[in-house]
A and B are shown apart, each in its own frame.
Chain A
Amino acid sequence: MRLVAMCLRNLGRRRLRTFLCVFGVAVSTCFVVAVGSTTLRFVTIMTDMNIFFQGDVVVVARDVIMIQGFPIGGVIPQSVVDELDKMDCVDRSIPVIFNFEFHLGEDSGVLPVYATIGLPLEEWSMIVRFATLKPGGRLPEANSTNEVIMGCSLAEQFGILTGSNTYLKGQELTVCGIIESPSALLGRSIIMSLELAQDVFNYPKRINMAVVKPKPSITQEELASRIEEEISCGMALTENERNELIKPVLEAVENWIMAIQGILLLLSLTLVAIVGMMNASERRRDFATLDAIGAPLSFVFRVVILETSLIGLLGGILGIAFGALAALVLSSLYTSIPLVQFFPCIFEIVPPVYVLEIFLAVVVVCCVGGIIPAINATRMRIAEVLRSEY
């Protein structure tokens, strides 16, 4: 503890330099935490979407962009479902309308602001089984023409309660239930009957995906290849194929983020090493004195390493605090969801394990940054330093 106090006092001798170094490390850490957390959240949401339609084949329009199980745009005729149902390898097929919306009023987000899912009422369990309804809520009734259920995040943002009315594409809808789900997609979804979705989006007799359940003896691969032979207007994707479509994108994102994090940590290391070298070279006489009074080399080494580690510790703590805040701001900016809505789920946006990893990485990097200055400090020739410093 005494050594720590000594190192803190040594750092305090050059307050501005220490402050700037801590600031530099904090800025790097802030950037790593903010960008890393936001990307990690994006990747988690994308990966989470894979829980839907497991074991099923999804039929979508040809060359449509797919995010896991869901297409962005692309339309196929609803009659495809009848054709699919006639195939002997199909147990049943479910028509779905899925729409990502990037606009909310006048705001336009880079990431989807909400999603609309339309599917036959009898097949709601396919989606809703991943969520629970808030007390007082219920699923839409079979004969209703304007009832929807809404994800809790979306409902909270607009102050919508069970029984409230809302408008979508100019059409008045009644929210009969609010769903709570760990899935970010469902939390930001409006789920309604297929007919209502076709009406709202003006897709008469059209859908943009069909979820096909294979008969027990049929594999997804066999089913997909049969569908592609017989159905000309769409492509059939198995679970593996859907994963493969998004995998390169997610991998590329993760690789870029890792590269950015690596560069920032390298910059921190360089900064700490330079400041460590300056400190060590200014304190040549102190180190020579320590050597002259018999201090072991390991003591001098520890002093320098501890000083750079303390810079990492302070920079890391500050960087994480500001980085977490920046991650929330980024999430809010890119989704048009108000910032306050993110505060309760801060640990979902900025996972504690990730923060701990970054913190340890920053401290280790700063510790490594101190190695060269520490070696320099231990290699001084006492007599020469004492003579030249008089």
Chain B
Amino acid sequence: MKIKTVDLTRIYHVGASKIIAVNKSNFEVSKSTFTAIVGPSGSGKSTLLNLIGLNDYPTAGKILIDNTDTSLLSGRERRKIRLFRIGFVFQTFNLLATLSVLENVELPMALAGKPSKEQRETAVRLLGNVGLGGRIHHRPKELSVGEMQRVAIARALANDPEVIIADEPTGELDSKTAEEIIGLLFDINRNRKTTVIVATHDEKLVKVAETLYTIRDGKLKLKH
């Protein structure tokens, strides 16, 4: 999957004031690359990820996915892309508290209409891959934050997406756990050839990235 933005702008209106979260940003990721976006809090990283993850609509500019202008897509088509082609990893994991670890990972596959047996087998395999094979029947609240982030990564991989978008995936983690999660994302990128886009403060994540963007006050710059 190739993602490109052209003069992407997102403006929020809070009361009478206008906040330019993303300002005419041009961004491009190629297939199977590991891209990091670095910037301080409030610089517009999450907004940019939400835009390219089709969770939000730009105020101006374009988002092209495989050269298709996403502004021309219907809500249903955008949802389909989110379900089948993009996996999202949130900073605060966003696991559904009433579902078990296994059910959380099965959920995207159930939504995609995959057979129950396939859902179960894939979820067990993915949880095994992230080192949680022995905790599949636990509830999220019974896990450590590192384990919760692993479940979130397994969930993001459930429908074998072409892109993983991770919004500060190590933001809530201690340094040792953060290292493990970085390793996991790196392995996914290398072994599965999945494109990884990460917004982060984490220097270690920046080091493994092939492409690095910096963002400040909504303005995006390609570093390398």
Question: Please, how many angstroms separate the alpha-carbon atoms of A289 and B79 in the complex?
Answer: 12
Which residues of A are found within 8 Å of B84, using beta-carbon distances? Answer: 294
Question: Please, how many angstroms separate the alpha-carbon atoms of A390 and B97 in the complex?
Answer: 16
- A274-297 interface code vs B (CB 8 A; 1 in, 0 out): 000000000001100111111111
Contact B98 A6 (CB under 8 A): yes
Which residues of A are found within 8 Å of B88, using beta-carbon distances? Answer: 292-293
Closest A residue by C-beta to B79: A294
Interface size on B, residues (CB 8 A): 31
Say yes or no: A390-B91 contact (C-beta < 8 A), given A2-B110, A292-B55, A294-B80. yes
Contact A383 B108 (CB under 8 A): no
Which residues of B are found within 8 Å of A15, using beta-carbon distances? Answer: none
Question: Which B residues from 49 to 106 make CB contacts under 8 A with A?
Answer: 50, 53, 55-56, 75-76, 79-84, 86, 88, 90-92, 94, 96-99, 103
Which residues of B are found within 8 Å of A291, using beta-carbon distances? Answer: 55, 79
Chain A to chain B contacts (Cβ below 8 Å), 10 pairs: A10-B98, A289-B90, A289-B96, A294-B79, A294-B82, A294-B86, A294-B108, A296-B76, A386-B50, A386-B94
Say yes or no: A293-B47 contact (C-beta < 8 A), given A13-B98, A286-B96, A390-B91. no
- By CB atoms of chain B within 10 A, which of A2, A294, A296, A390 has the most? A294
Which residues of A are found within 8 Å of B97, using beta-carbon distances? Answer: 13, 286
**Partner among A289, A293, A386 whose Cβ is within 8 Å of the Cβ of B83:** A293
Which residues of B are found within 8 Å of A293, using beta-carbon distances? Answer: 82-83, 88, 107-108, 111, 155
Closest A residue by C-beta to B98: A9
Question: Which A residues from 301 to 328 make CB contacts under 8 A with B?
Answer: none
Say yes or no: A382-B111 contact (C-beta < 8 A), given A13-B97, A286-B96, A294-B83. no
Does B170 lie at the interface of the complex (its beta carbon under 8 Å from any beta carbon of A)? Answer: no
Does A387 lie at the interface of the complex (its beta carbon under 8 Å from any beta carbon of B)? Answer: yes
Contact B111 A295 (CB under 8 A): yes
Question: B215 CB to closest chain A CB, in angstroms?
Answer: 16
Give the number of residue pairs across the A-B interface with Cβ within 8 Å.
68
**Partner among B53, B92, B107, B108 whose Cβ is within 8 Å of the Cβ of A390:** B92
Does A299 lie at the interface of the complex (its beta carbon under 8 Å from any beta carbon of B)? Answer: yes
Say yes or no: A383-B111 contact (C-beta < 8 A), given A293-B88, A390-B91. no
Question: Please, how many angstroms separate the alpha-carbon atoms of A12 and B103 in the complex?
Answer: 17
Which residues of B are found within 8 Å of A381, using beta-carbon distances? Answer: 56
- B123-166 interface code vs A (CB 8 A; 1 in, 0 out): 00000000000000000000000000000000100000000000
Question: Please, how many angstroms separate the alpha-carbon atoms of A10 and B53 in the complex?
Answer: 28
Contact A292 B110 (CB under 8 A): no
A interface bracket (residues with beta carbon within 8 Å of B): 20 to 34
Which residues of B are found within 8 Å of A386, using beta-carbon distances? Answer: 46, 50, 55, 90, 94
Task: Other than A292-B55, A294-B86, give 6 A-B pairs with Cβ distance below 8 A.
Answer: A2-B110, A9-B98, A286-B97, A293-B88, A294-B81, A386-B50
Contact B111 A294 (CB under 8 A): yes
Contact B55 A382 (CB under 8 A): yes
Contact B98 A383 (CB under 8 A): no
- B29-52 interface code vs A (CB 8 A; 1 in, 0 out): 000000000000000001100100
Closest B residue by C-beta to A285: B94
Contact B98 A292 (CB under 8 A): no
Question: A341 CB to closest chain B CB, in angstroms?
Answer: 48
Question: Please, how many angstroms separate the alpha-carbon atoms of A383 and B54 in the complex?
Answer: 9
Contact B47 A383 (CB under 8 A): yes
Question: B24 CB to closest chain A CB, in angstroms?
Answer: 19
Question: Please, how many angstroms separate the alpha-carbon atoms of A294 and B111 in the complex?
Answer: 8
Question: Please, how many angstroms separate the alpha-carbon atoms of A6 and B1 in the complex?
Answer: 33
**Partner among B46, B53, B112 whose Cβ is within 8 Å of the Cβ of A292:** B53
Contact B96 A296 (CB under 8 A): no
Question: A146 CB to closest chain B CB, in angstroms?
Answer: 74
Question: Please, how many angstroms separate the alpha-carbon atoms of A42 and B36 in the complex?
Answer: 77
Question: Please, how many angstroms separate the alpha-carbon atoms of A13 and B103 in the complex?
Answer: 17
Which residues of B are found within 8 Å of A296, using beta-carbon distances? Answer: 76, 79, 111
Which residues of B are found within 8 Å of A290, using beta-carbon distances? Answer: 96
Closest 9 CB pairs of A and B: A294-B83, A383-B56, A294-B82, A9-B98, A289-B94, A383-B50, A382-B55, A294-B79, A295-B111
Question: Which A residues from 1 to 25 make CB contacts under 8 A with B?
Answer: 2, 6, 9-10, 12-13
